[in-house]
Amino acid sequence: MQIVFKKFSEKQSNREVNNLLITNYDFYDVYSILIAIRLKPQNECNAEIVQSVIDIISAPQNGNDVDSNIVRKKIRETDNLDRDLFEFAFVDNIYTYGIRSIKEDYPYSFLKNAFDKLLKCINDGDYNQVYALAYALHNVPIFLSDGCKNLKKALRIEFSNYDKKYGTDLRKELLQRKFEE
């Protein structure tokens, strides 16, 4: 096996950094973030972490480069980070098998809309709703990453308690919102 190194101009290199593909493992880290937020919805670093996820998934995902642990690296930059709660972010994993880049737009737009809603709840200080929303959303990154066969049904089940409590249809709400780049 021969490894070929390409020399890139600085302009090309910067462009490609902005077009990194997110892997299935990064989606699993988003799952971990939602679990941590659910555990401590009032944590002062939650808003910054949620905004970081929004920034990552809002970036163009159309390049060919993959950078492992992109979500973890971004979490480590968070001010006032609760290191106990986000301990997983301080271990860079080396993935040797099963790495898949997520190339479809749908997972990104759905998660972007979900995290926008979560950030609004955090900023409003409605920690009961933050908990309920993080609880409803926590499995969604795994469904999206693993190509859930019946996503519509899975989302209906995941969101049922939230929808009953808040009188919404969260799945439809998140699907109908336009993805802004």
Predicted local confidence at residue 61, as pLDDT: 62
Beta-carbon contacts of residue 90 (< 8 Å; ≥ 6 apart): 72, 76, 83
pTM of this structure:
0.81
Res 6: pLDDT: 31
Class of residue 126 by CB neighbours under 10 A (exposed 0-12, middle 13-18, buried 19+): middle
Using the predicted structure, report yes or no on whether residue 63 has a pLDDT greater than 70: no
Model confidence over 10-29: pLDDT tens digits? 333 333 334 556 788 888 99
